[in-house]
Chain A
């Protein structure tokens, strides 16, 4: 038959095919339409809840025949409807079933069916489509390939509570990203779905709510529209607030809290609005409590992390609400030792969610500690907190590692913690490990974290240097990713600040002058600024001055140096240094900057004169060191020319 199946599956299933399965398929080919109908009905009853039977029928080629019957104009509506029901039942099985159905092009056939005038048939098609689209193996793009589909679905929303439920469910699963949001929004999704929030059917209300949560996510346009929508004389945010009352089902509370969170983050609701401060935030904190299911706790913590991320006041409120910080510590206790012994099913469940729980907790801790020193302190004082983060840094799951680094990064903004807890727990060790061979997303956060650990006052600085940080950071400056280049050079800058000669020399050697030049012409302004910062910090050694002198040989670089007063002051300072070699190096820089034949030399000469360089040159021309004396005289000649 037309359906493609991977050979191994076909073999194994075929060996088990029973005569009865074949009989069901054979009956679909009966010349008597009445018998075909009865055959389909019998098949429907045979496959319900029977995954083996479903697989058998698919292997035996039932799907193309059912689709044929479903599309055949001569088929009765009743037969078509029954076919759609059986297909929907088949889709309820394993992911492989759904793949088989997709391979037979079931989606266009069902979408075609939606044009029928018969409501029962439409509902059966929608139900099947819903099952297929909610499967993770179905590409959501399939919903958008035919531009007429979305408007037709919008029109069908008024037909019945079943069309409403299924269509909303399809939308909420297939709306991924701003493009989909825009398509649905432009076809009137907001107006068409808003009134469903007051439907009598709980399922319809719930699916409509889910639709709004995916529509509003990171979408200011949709969010701004939503705040002004009236349903039965009530504004949508008010309806959402009612839906997160504590006697409502948890699923509804959580989803409406998400809607309000997304609208708030998209700028449509102020962060100090009561519906956020007194309703959404407490609701999300409740979702993190031990009484909730593990999935709910994960979603609750993630949503709350997202809500409070940019607002310190919300962070403060969350930090005192229902002992949230202590509550989150419980997220690390899965699977518990008890569950392992007593209940295998429970253990399985716990294991499945353990990673998710940990990463959600790390994320929320990161948001909580983003700005407030007191909160950071409270987090770090939570039982075994630093150990948990350190463990998290070396977990196999990328998600957990990333969240752990984020959390650590957030906490590393505290000077006090850098000096105490971070040192006590040798956080730098696992961090350095994370930085080897990590995906970019982790590297970005980890290296930015390293910047904080390399601050002059951080006690971690020494051991980090000893473990090869210089090479690593220099490596980062060569990354394609500008964020990594910034962090690399930034960390080097911090490292060089008031550092001993050896380190500065190490940095210079590792980085190489060529790389420095490249960085000075980097397209990213941040990289440029930090490179200059690095130069300033390095400017205490002769090699640096030589580098500077060389830099000052190029036009762009000259401009950069001239606009950086810090560097100029350093140069001036070294001209008067007691060490002749330093004086000489500084002289080279000056010479390059004021050399007459170069473009813009007049301005540079003027600026340097204003800084008092000419006076110093005069002084140096009297120097006992002949080399220095000559250089100074040469430089003065440039002024006279």
Chain B
């Protein structure tokens, strides 16, 4: 389907939102004019990332003494080591991202506390402090990066915010006869080892997430010590302790009991033993020096921790949770299971009645197109598949027009149009209206809202970089590069009017050629509108606004076309059609423009700022009214607070709350409005296609939480081409 609109995605946005620290507490709107304090406040309010003191569970002295036997590369700090140096003052926004490499997903990097995946400073400092992460140890950083890369590649389906992967042994979950070193990867025995009662074990920091599908780690026997009684395996949490091990001295496997079963060969100094947990069929097998030894355990319980047990002095083993390449080709094994699972999905029986399946899919596609207002495509699709479109074409166009306004940042007009076309809609949805108004406020700050723009403001550069990359599948898909047009409008050139209507996002199927000619004629039309007329938008002149917008609609399938006629192949590239001469001209013009001018509040116009402040007051009043009428609403409160926080910074775009100004944030607003309109027509809030996708995604998440490992090899993205 070439006309497939961009799958839209709120997750990323949410993550981005999480990234930014909360706005300064002092800025909470109280009453009256809300002009928060300057940014200086923010430094103090940033989260302090200082690692805790080095108070380990067991004495540092003991650990250090034992370590003398097996000196780790970075010498441990003296017992009376001073607390680690205070961290450098964290810069406001970027402080949240630690030194992990670029591939690190934002979610991971920002992860709070021990759940943050990589042995964070806090985690290590909480231990015996044998090996704090030295600052600027590049080799170590490199290892961390490699670990991160490998884990991401091996277990792409794991959400480490929810279920972190094991990366080292846990200094907290270990017997006192166990010593750890080398970033908690090396384990040595430090007891007497006289009787079997002296056996001791340590487990990894986290249990194995089911979403791994297949999980694997390796342990190298550095020294077999006195008797070589090493055991490698898995253990469960809690009182009802299950544990599973493979022992070096006799090659037996032990399953939650003291008596072993003959399993494999013995192992000793120099051998690398691997342990693979298959979370799809709940089995486990071991490897020795890269050779699979066959199934050791079946019917494994969920949430097992990688574990090693030692029993006699001198036993030392090193773990590899992905820090280094594995000796065994685990990826080959994973490939086999991926193929198996995907074959299962492909062969899943679908409906017995012929054609039913196809009709259902066609309906889903059609409803998706209608939902997002791709009327031309929807019409063409319905025609070729013999379907009826449930909604009237005019209605679709109306929704599309409103959506375009929202996505262009022209919230005032959008609200206006909505009220006009769907008179009672916003009245019945005060919360939605509030949301739209807050967004309008943000757009005013941005300088994009019509009310501000007409006051001569300039638009910020940030808007030019509207992302066009493909996104997940749940928010409306149109993402025109509105900023550009507005920018030009604002620059006050005579030619700006040309572009006033070109912000729409169009449907990919329509051929580009046909459009260009169509556009040309439109350009002439639109150039008839002169700038003052356009700019002098005022509340009472809705008629004119309507004229303007209807003109806009006529041009809807304009040269910001999607994919088909473009060089771009993603199928829904919106904006910057480079083949258009005039546009190119504008591009260069703009660049000069923006390099000279800093982005300014409300486009830099004093009048606009005043208008904005006035609007802010109204909004505050509205919020209070809303609370009185409908009761407290924390979401609304936060929304307003965040929006007002923008004013706390001299450069809101680069502030911790600056991402609100990102045009991508228009999408959820747009989606909410669109859904509300559809609901009034008794049409589904969500297109069934998006619903199905969402359900599949949720289902996979549920599988992960329920310990069903096959979710690892069935990502929804694999099936979206």
- Give A contacts to B, CB under 8 Å: 245-247, 278-279, 282, 317, 320-323, 327
Given A247-B338, A247-B339 in contact, is the A320-B333 Cβ separation under 8 Å? no
- B291 near A317 (CB under 8 angstroms)? yes
Contacting pair B339 A282 (CB below 8 A): no
Q: Is B346 an interface residue (CB 8 A)?
A: no
Contacts of A321 in B (CB 8 A): 291-294
- Chain B stretch 288-302: residues in CB contact (< 8 A) with chain A: 288, 290-295
The reply to whether B336 and A247 contact each other, CB–CB distance below 8 Å, is yes
Nearest-neighbor residue (CB-CB) of B263 within chain A: A323
Q: Indicate if the CB atoms of A323 and B336 lie closer than 8 Å.
A: no
A246 contacts B335, C-beta separation under 8 Å? yes
| Chain A CB within 8 A of B265 CB | yes
Cα–Cα distance between A238 and B335 once the two chains are bound (Å): 18
B329 sits at the interface (CB 8 A): yes
Residue among A246, A278, A282, A322 having the largest count of chain B Cβ atoms under 10 Å: A246
List chain B residues, Cβ under 8 A from A279.
329
Q: Is B264 an interface residue (CB 8 A)?
A: yes
Q: Can you name 20 A-B residue pairings with CB atoms under 8 Å?
A: A246-B333, A246-B335, A246-B339, A247-B338, A278-B329, A279-B329, A317-B291, A320-B264, A320-B265, A320-B288, A320-B291, A320-B293, A321-B293, A321-B294, A322-B285, A322-B292, A322-B294, A323-B293, A323-B294, A327-B294
Candidate in A279, A317, A322 with the most chain B CB atoms within 10 angstroms: A322
Contact B338 A282 (CB under 8 A): no
Among A282, A317, A327, which residue has the most Cβ atoms of chain B within 10 A? A282
Number of chain B residues whose Cβ lies closer than 8 Å to a Cβ of chain A: 17
Interface of chain A: mostly helix, strand, loop or mixed: helix
User: Cβ of B335 and Cβ of A245 under 8 Å apart?
Assistant: yes
A residues near B291, Cβ cutoff 8 Å: 278, 282, 317, 320-321
Q: Which residues of B contact A247 (CB under 8 A)?
A: 335-336, 338-339
* Shortest beta-carbon distance from A625 to chain B in Å: 67
Distance, CA A320 to CA B264, complexed state (A): 7
User: Which residues of A sit under 8 angstroms from B336, Cβ to Cβ?
Assistant: 246-247
B332 proximal to A (CB < 8 A)? yes
Q: Ordered nearest first, which 10 A-B pairs have the shortest CB separation?
A: A246-B336, A323-B294, A247-B335, A322-B294, A247-B339, A320-B265, A246-B332, A321-B291, A322-B292, A246-B335
Q: How far is the CA of A462 from the CA of B329 in the complex (A)?
A: 53
Give bound CA distance, A278 to B333, whole Å. 13
Known contacts A320-B264, A320-B265: does B292 contact A282 (CB below 8 Å)?
A: yes
A327 to B265, CA, bound (A): 16
Q: Chain B residue with minimal CB distance to A327?
A: B294
A321 and B290 alpha carbons, distance in the complex (Å): 10
Measured in the bound complex, the distance between the Cα atoms of B290 and A247 in whole Å is 19
Q: Are A278 and B338 in contact (CB under 8 A)?
A: no
Task: For the complex, give the distance between the alpha carbons of A278 and B288 in Å.
Answer: 11
Nearest-Cβ distance from residue B217 to partner chain A, whole angstroms: 19
Residue of B nearest to A289 (CB): B294
Contact indicator A245/B332 (Cβ below 8 Å): yes
Q: How far is the CA of A279 from the CA of B339 in the complex (A)?
A: 19
* Distance A282 CA – B332 CA, assembled complex (angstroms): 11
The 8 A CB mask of B571-606 against A (1 = contact, 0 = none) is 000000000000000000000000000000000000
User: In the assembly, what is the distance between CA of A327 and CA of B291, in Å?
Assistant: 16
- In the bound complex, residues from chain B placing their C-beta under 8 Å from that of A323 are 293-295
User: Apart from A278-B290, A322-B293, A323-B293, what 18 extra A-B contacts exist at CB < 8 Å?
Assistant: A245-B332, A245-B335, A246-B332, A246-B336, A246-B339, A247-B336, A278-B291, A278-B329, A279-B329, A282-B291, A317-B291, A320-B265, A321-B291, A321-B292, A321-B294, A322-B292, A323-B295, A327-B294
CB closest residue in chain A, given B251: A320
CB distance from A199 to the nearest CB of B (A): 21
CB A249 to nearest CB in B, in angstroms, measures 10
Alpha-carbon separation in the docked complex, A323 to B295 (Å):
8
Q: Which residue of B lies closest to A381 (CB)?
A: B262
* Complex interface residues of chain B between 209 and 238 (CB less than 8 A to chain A): none
CA distance A279 to B292 in the complex (A): 11
Q: Quote the shortest CB–CB distance from A35 to chain B (angstroms).
A: 40
Q: Within 8 Å CB of A322, what residues of B?
A: 285, 292-294
Residue of A nearest to B342 (CB): A247
Chain A residues lying within 8 Å of B329, measured Cβ to Cβ, are: 278-279
Alpha-carbon distance A6/B285, docked complex (angstroms): 60
Distance (Å) between the CB of B445 and the closest chain A CB? 53
When chains A and B are docked, how far (Å) is the Cα of A320 from the Cα of B251?
Answer: 11
In chain A, what residue has the closest Cβ to B338?
A247
Contacts of A278 in B (CB 8 A): 290-291, 329
Roughly how many angstroms separate A160 CA and B372 CA in the complex, as a whole number?
47
CB contacts (< 8 Å) of B295 on chain A: these are 323
Query: What chain B residues lie within 8 Å of A282 (beta carbons)?
Result: 291-292
B107 CB, nearest partner CB in chain A, Å: 30
Give Cα A109–Cα B560 distance, bound, in whole angstroms: 64
The complex places the Cα of A512 from the Cα of B290 at a distance, in Å, of: 59
Q: Please, how many angstroms separate the alpha-carbon atoms of A317 and B328 in the complex?
A: 14
- The CA-CA distance from A322 to B329 in the complex, in Å, is 15
Per-residue CB contact flags for chain B residues 225-264 toward chain A (1 = under 8 Å, else 0) read 0000000000000000000000000000000000000001
State the CA gap A321–B328 with chains docked (Å): 12
Contacting residues, chain A, for B265 (C-beta < 8 A): 320
Q: Tell me the smallest distance from the CB of B296 to a CB of chain A, in Å.
A: 10
Closest to B339 in A: A247
Residues of A within 8 A of B332 (CB): 245-246
Complex alpha-carbon distance, A322 and B335, angstroms: 18
Docked Cα-Cα span, A245 to B335, in Å, equals 8
What chain B residues lie within 8 Å of A317 (beta carbons)? Answer: 291
In the complex, what residues of B have CB within 8 A of residue A320's CB?
Answer: 264-265, 288, 291, 293
Annotate B333-371 by CB proximity to A: 1 below 8 A, 0 otherwise: 101101100000000000000000000000000000000
A119 to B293, CA, bound (A): 52
A239 CB to closest chain B CB (Å) equals 16
- A324 nearest CB across to chain B (Å): 8
Q: How far is the CA of A38 from the CA of B143 in the complex (A)?
A: 74
List chain A residues, Cβ under 8 A from B338. Answer: 247
A453 CB to nearest chain B CB (Å): 30
In B409-445, which residues have CB < 8 Å from any A CB?
none
* Complex: A276 Cα to B439 Cα, angstroms: 65
Measured CB to CB, the closest approach of chain B to A162, in angstroms, equals 27
Question: When chains A and B are docked, how far (Å) is the Cα of A561 from the Cα of B335?
Answer: 68
Could you tell me the distance in whole angstroms from the C-beta of A421 to the nearest C-beta in chain B? Answer: 18
